[in-house]
Structure 1
Amino acid sequence: MLKQHLLAQRLPIALFHCFARQLGAAAARAQTRDAALDPQFLGQKASQVLTELSGSVGGVDSRSFEGMPRDQLALITYAEHGEFTVEERVSAWQETARQEQLWRQSAATRALDEYSSTGKMTGFCGEALAHFKSLPVIEQAQYPTGYADDLLGKIDLDSSDAPVIYAQAASPMEIVRGLLPEAAFVRVSKSDESTTDARGRQIMLDRLYGGREPPFMDGAEGIR
């Protein structure tokens, strides 16, 4: 995949080999780091790295790594030992956020379709769980503790006759937001966050409520 991506950009073969060595070095360091830190400290490390990179967002070509797999983007973003320039790392982070936002928007649409037809989000919870497990370890560490177990619990409840409870959920839109918590790697800037959030919010409102805010519903009653 890396070879195809780089050749698609028609990079000189020498540059390709250089980039491959850099990526290999970053992968070795990442493996050591992930093995040495528990999820809590790994999440803190990720937050620290992204905070440092956020000061260099302006003016970076956000499409340098367009289409690159998420695991390789993470290797570049969190490489702290000089394998890649700050500009390259920011660009990789931007591509990660772009891919994640696209997935979240499409997944939310599928969740609302499922809810409209079944009153549940079993399939959506399964999709969210599979997506979480596909992420690089350092991105998984940025999710709340017990996130995967929580999704599994909701899937089990959805599959039983017991009522499905989503704490204090005012609407299906709020349920979706609760099942897709924000993580630092999702957004590169506040403007990205507000634009994406507003677009996703309007899509949900248009599909479910004709563009109007729904009335408040007590989440203690479940979503059936």
Structure 2
Amino acid sequence: MPEISTDQAADSLQVSPLAKQLAAAAERAAARDSQLSRKELAALALRISIHLGGNAYISNKALYDAIVPETDDPELLARARQATDFSNGKDTNPFKDLTTEQLALISYDEAGEFTHNERYAANWELGLRASQWTAYIVEKSNSEYQRSGSRELAIREMSDYYRSLPPIIGAEFDGFELHAMLDKEGAELPRTRTSMFLFDTVLQTTLELEQQADEAKPPLTPPAQDASKQQ
């Protein structure tokens, strides 16, 4: 057996607890995505979102707030506390700087690796980014149309955006046959009614998913404001 150098041992010790959790979650996500159809993934994503922030979560908030990771690791304990404080409007989101892929790994992982409030925080950040991107792409497409009478560049960016999403998030759009329509347009998108219809369909898809998310979990406003609205 080859000996492990001092440098290699040091590197292994420098791997953060979050990095280890994300690596394990990535393996589970890959297995899940390979076993489920896109339709099944979409249904799972909706069920998880409802579970994370729906009425049942609000009704059992005190129970979820009391959950503490079974560990002595101070970093894991501090992060769980921060996620709980965030859910109550008392602190920042501990996952606000993660990538969309990392947020999805936390939000949709059901193995117990992360507390409910940690998954809520990750899911909340995903929703916030989706809302911000929607506002951005609508403004960009409208500006493009005013300049050129076309939304071709905006449609291309939408296509790239939806294809880049983690499978479990992107699967939610398949119910609207979005990917099939984007593929059908091909590399060259003419300035025709077809392109306009595609844009309208994509926009409607986004709006419907936002409405669905609002029904599944609290609105995309700071948690403290959510709590006040429930009173």
Shorter-chain TM-score tier: 0.5 to 0.7
Structure 2: gaps spanning 5 or more residues: 1-11, 59-86, 222-231
Q: In 2, are the aligned partners of 1:143 and 1:181 still within 8 Å (CA)?
A: no
Runs of 4+ off more than 4 Å: 13-16, 154-158, 184-188
**How many angstroms apart in 2 are the aligned matches of 1:81 and 1:15?**
24
**How many angstroms apart in 2 are the aligned matches of 1:92 and 1:124?**
27
Q: In the alignment, residue 220 of structure 2 is paired with which amino acid?
A: D
1:192 aligns with 2:220: yes
1:180 aligns with 2:206: yes
Q: In the alignment, residue 88 of structure 2 is paired with which amino acid?
A: G
Q: In the alignment, residue 93 of structure 1 is paired with which amino acid?
A: N
Compute the displacement of 1:163 (Å). Answer: 3.8
2:172 to 142, 164, 174: 142
Q: In 1, are the aligned partners of 2:189 and 2:195 still within 8 Å (CA)?
A: no
Compute the displacement of 1:119 (Å). Answer: 1.8
TM-score normalised over the length of structure 2: 0.65
- Secondary structure of the 2:114 match is coil
Q: In 1, are the aligned partners of 2:106 and 2:122 still within 8 Å (CA)?
A: yes
1:79 aligns with 2:109: yes
1:126 aligns with 2:156: yes
- Which is greater in Rg? 2
Q: Which has the higher helix share?
A: 2
Q: In the alignment, residue 204 of structure 2 is paired with which amino acid?
A: G
Q: In 2, are the aligned partners of 1:115 and 1:121 still within 8 Å (CA)?
A: yes
Where relative contact order (Cα < 8 A, 6+ residues apart) is larger, the structure is 2
Q: Deviations over 1:124-162 (max 9, x none)?
A: 1100000001110100011134312213445678426x5
1:32 aligns with 2:31: yes
Compute the displacement of 1:39 (Å). Answer: 0.2
Compute the displacement of 1:175 (Å). Answer: 6.4
Compute the displacement of 1:64 (Å). Answer: 1.5
2:190 to 155, 159, 169: 159
| 1:94 aligned partner | 124
Query: Does the C-alpha gap of structure 1 residues 21 and 156 become closer, same or farther in structure 2, counting only changes over 3 Å?
Result: closer
Compute the displacement of 1:19 (Å). Answer: 1.9
Sequence identity, in percent? 26
The number of aligned residues is: 176
Compute the displacement of 1:25 (Å). Answer: 1.3
TM-score normalised over the length of structure 1: 0.67
Q: In 2, are the aligned partners of 1:77 and 1:93 still within 8 Å (CA)?
A: yes
**How many angstroms apart in 2 are the aligned matches of 1:42 and 1:114?**
34
**How many angstroms apart in 1 are the aligned matches of 2:15 and 2:206?**
36
Root-mean-square deviation (CA, aligned residues, Å) is: 3.2
Q: In 2, are the aligned partners of 1:111 and 1:176 still within 8 Å (CA)?
A: no
**How many angstroms apart in 2 are the aligned matches of 1:133 and 1:112?**
22
Q: In 1, are the aligned partners of 2:39 and 2:174 still within 8 Å (CA)?
A: no
